[in-house]
Amino acid sequence: MASVILTNAYRSVDQYWIQDVSTAAQAAIGSSVFVLIGLMSAFWLTAVGVAPLVARATGAGDDALRRRVLGTGLSMSVVIGVLVAAVLVLAADPITGAIGLSGETATECSRYLRTLGWTIVPLALTPLVDQAFIAMGDTRTPMWLQGLSLLLNCIWTPLAVMDQVGPVPGLGLGVVGAALASNASRFVATAIGLVLLWRRVGLTADHLSPVVAQARRIIKVGTPMAAGTFAYAAVYWAMLKTAISPLGPEVNAALGIGFSALEGFTWPAFWGISLAVSSVVGRALGAKRPDIAVSAVKKAFVLSTVAGLFAGALFFFGGEVLTGWFASSEGVHVAATEYATILAFSQVFVAWEALGEGVLTGAGDTRTVFWLSVPFNLLRIPLAILGAGALGAAGIWWAVNLTTVFKSSLKGAACIRGKWLEHEV
């Protein structure tokens, strides 16, 4: 949980420091979140594809197979990183138009995305390195690495974004500075993590030559999750274009605060439990011990329920105070508080959905996750349009709540049926 919270906390850092630059800058970074999730879903193709394979190889004690899988995954990630970088650099302007941004907000968003693109290739390895450690049962190393990354980001972001930070002069680069600070801090942590992983599993340069059989397995397992993540982001692109952006930059900024600053802490907590379960499930099935997998899921359900109920209460009763930390504009503050209050009702379902995905992904059954996610995410588009017309921004957030309940219920049912215990990868 701590590891994933630290991984995503850079969004909160950006939102905090960018609020004093301009509402347009804050709206730009808030809206860009879903662009980045969509493009970086390509990084998760290899990370999610590698994780259950490494977990099963670890459970079976097959070190040679683990090295072949990791080496192939690292090579694939570099190629994917180059492609994503090219998209961000060359298509930043069309992308901002596609999500409905205009004027100064569009200009700021393009600058932010293009800067990320020029420096993003090494970060293609970040999720793979983290997932490899977690799949082997080591969650502490990613936690310390992401803690280092966040510490550096907290130091570098204000200095890069602002003209002056107390008595210390800053670079005053605005959104460009936020992008540079984020990528630089993650680069340092990822480089250290790669060295540690390389030594731990005994990788050599020869292992970086892709093995076709392992590449196929990685693609088979990782593609449904990557496609599902991209579809999730694309749905928000469509919602931004058709329902959110037309309501004004205050609502764009509110979405950024709610999704990045508030859910940027609660969702990673849910996903941390999910990753832990995924690791145990993969290693237990690799060791032919389904009883251990089932026991872990039952215990995790209790943890997820408590975490979800706590997050819901925090959003509902503390939303106004929490959003006030990230909103210097009264209009943004009111809109963000509304987001937090409404999303409070679905937080326990978000926690259960994350757990269901962890169970199925750990078993390698990523296709089921895809089919129980994408159709309901697509349903958000017409529901958001209708909701915005009837209730304004509140109608959009209630559409998100409704579809979350559907997804959570179906993924929970799939876990209870137990077919994942017999899934082969």
Q: At what angle do helices 347-362 and 290-324 cross, to 10 degrees?
A: 150
Check residue 257 and give its pLDDT: 79
pLDDT, one tens digit per residue, over 169-223 is 778 888 889 889 989 998 999 999 999 999 999 999 988 887 888 889 899 888 8
Check residue 5 and give its pLDDT: 77
Low-confidence ranges of the chain (pLDDT < 50): none
- With CA atoms as reference, report the closest residue to 38 among 186, 262, 228: 228
Check residue 95 and give its pLDDT: 87
Total domains present in the chain: 1
Check residue 21 and give its pLDDT: 80
The rounded distance, in Å, linking the Cα atoms of 357 and 401 is 18
Cβ pair 340, 204 in contact under 8 A: no
At position 194, the amino acid (one-letter code) is L
Q: Can you give the residue range of the structural domain that contains 315?
A: 2-422
Check residue 311 and give its pLDDT: 93
Check residue 413 and give its pLDDT: 94
